[in-house]
Amino acid sequence: MSDLLERLRARGWRMTSQRRVVAEVLDGDHVHLTAEEVHALAVRRLPEISRATVYNALGELVSLGEVMEVSTDGRAKRFDPNAHRPHQHLMCSGCGAIRDVHPTGDPLAGLPAEERFGFTVSDAEVTYRGLCPDCAPAVRPSPAGDAPH
């Protein structure tokens, strides 16, 4: 059984076939699906599942704190099942791919006291942006004769 399904069972979440399929689709590492992607994958497993049921299940999972909504650059919201493992995100500016990353150090340490404006800061969300290997232009070595003088 998946980590997400185990957590939901432990919380006593009523596990209908539709809810189970949504949880199964979300389970895994580096999963950051949109609601439409969750629905498309859920339909493959349970053809009669409706879009409204998927949206309702996602809303409940977010409300329970078992799934996080990830919003990036005005793109569609994505749903991250790794809500119980502290992490940050690495996002491709080209295709929108998202990966979970676990850098060392405290991200709050990078915010100096004078930049906190009296806030008691309890959390930080960090998103690293760049280009994934598929979107980045290939780096080609220049021919030996093209070296600058």
- Predicted confidence (pLDDT) per residue in 105-121, tens digit: 777 777 888 888 989 88
3-130 belongs to CATH 3.30.70.360: no
CB atoms within 10 A of CB 34: 16
Query: C-alpha distances in angstroms, 123 versus 24, 67, 77, 143?
Result: 29, 17, 20, 49
Mean pLDDT of 6-24: 92
Give the model's pLDDT for residue 149.
46
This prediction's pTM: 0.75
Q: What is the mean pLDDT of residues 55-82?
A: 88
Rounded Cα gap, residues 33 and 126, in angstroms: 19
Taking the domains of the chain in order of start, what are their residue ranges? 3-130
Of the pLDDT bands very low, low, confident and very high (cuts 50, 70, 90), residue 96 is confident
Residue 54: count of CB within 10 angstroms of its CB: 24
Q: Of 16, 81, 80, which is closest to residue 53 (Cα–Cα)?
A: 16
Is residue 147's pLDDT more than 80? no
Confidence of residue 97 (pLDDT cuts 50, 70, 90): confident
